[in-house]
């Protein structure tokens, strides 16, 4: 039994980054679906998109007795038919994991003037990661610019990353918005996509 565990560990590779290890590399997908309110049409519609994502290891970060392993990342998306134009979505940030407590964090800034730290719990070899953030939470909270607070207030955020058996990576994302255009009603702005890796980095070394 001990021999079998050693062989399995070797096959699964190093886990320096814990549950973030499978993300290391560059990814693409062309079947994304964004469901959101469109101001110009005054209705909620789906938008298909192409997306590229980069996840690169960073050096271990220490905050006193806390040690964090992580990745820097960027995800950029273009509407179908607009791949040669400016993207309609861009986000940059960090994915962090604290081995001691099992906390996993998504520290992200969106190009719309939104910043957040979303968090959850994960073990080293978990194949699903769940992130949640709520405005006003002292740990996993959300900040947004003044215009958004008045016209499209972000009331909550949840996201799940899933690592699939075929080597692809899927995510779902749900932003709860209070929209002035809908008389203050709340709506769910959702995104979902599956991406395939197009370039691999060594998970224990910083990528160029």
Residue 148: how many CB atoms within 10 A of its CB? 15
The two tokens of residue 172 are: 């779902």
Consecutive 10-residue averages of pLDDT for the chain (208 residues)? 40 73 96 92 91 96 96 97 94 97 97 96 97 97 96 97 97 97 94 97 54
Domain ranges for the chain: 2-199
What secondary structure, in 3-state letters, does 11-45 show? HHCCCCCHHHHHHCEEEEEEEEEEEEEECCCCEEE
Predicted structure pTM score: 0.88
Alpha helix ranges (H) inside the chain? 2-12, 146-151
Residue 159: phi and psi, rounded to 5, are -150, 145
Q: What is the CATH number of domain 2-199?
A: 2.40.128.20
The two tokens of residue 77 are: 């998306």
């Amino acid at each position: 039994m001990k021999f079998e565990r050693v062989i399995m560990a070797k096959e699964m590779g190093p886990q320096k980054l814990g549950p973030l290890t499978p993300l290391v590399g560059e990814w693409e997908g062309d079947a994304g679906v964004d469901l959101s309110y469109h101001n110009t049409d005054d209705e909620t519609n789906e938008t298909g998109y192409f997306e590229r994502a980069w996840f690169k290891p960073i050096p271990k970060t220490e905050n006193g007795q806390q040690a964090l392993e992580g990745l820097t990342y960027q995800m950029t998306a273009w509407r179908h038919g607009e791949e040669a134009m400016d993207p309609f979505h861009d986000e940059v940030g960090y994915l962090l994991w604290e081995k001691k407590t099992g906390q996993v964090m998504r520290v992200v800034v969106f190009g719309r003037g939104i910043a957040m730290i979303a968090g959850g719990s994960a073990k080293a070899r978990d194949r699903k990661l769940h992130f949640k953030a709520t405005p006003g939470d002292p740990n996993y909270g959300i900040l947004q610019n003044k215009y958004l607070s008045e016209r499209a207030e972000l009331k909550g955020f949840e996201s799940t990353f899933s690592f699939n058996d075929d080597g692809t990576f899927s995510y779902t994302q749900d932003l709860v918005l209070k929209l002035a255009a809908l008389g203050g009603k709340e709506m769910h702005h959702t995104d979902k996509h599956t991406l395939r890796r197009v370039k691999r980095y060594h998970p224990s070394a910083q990528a160029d």
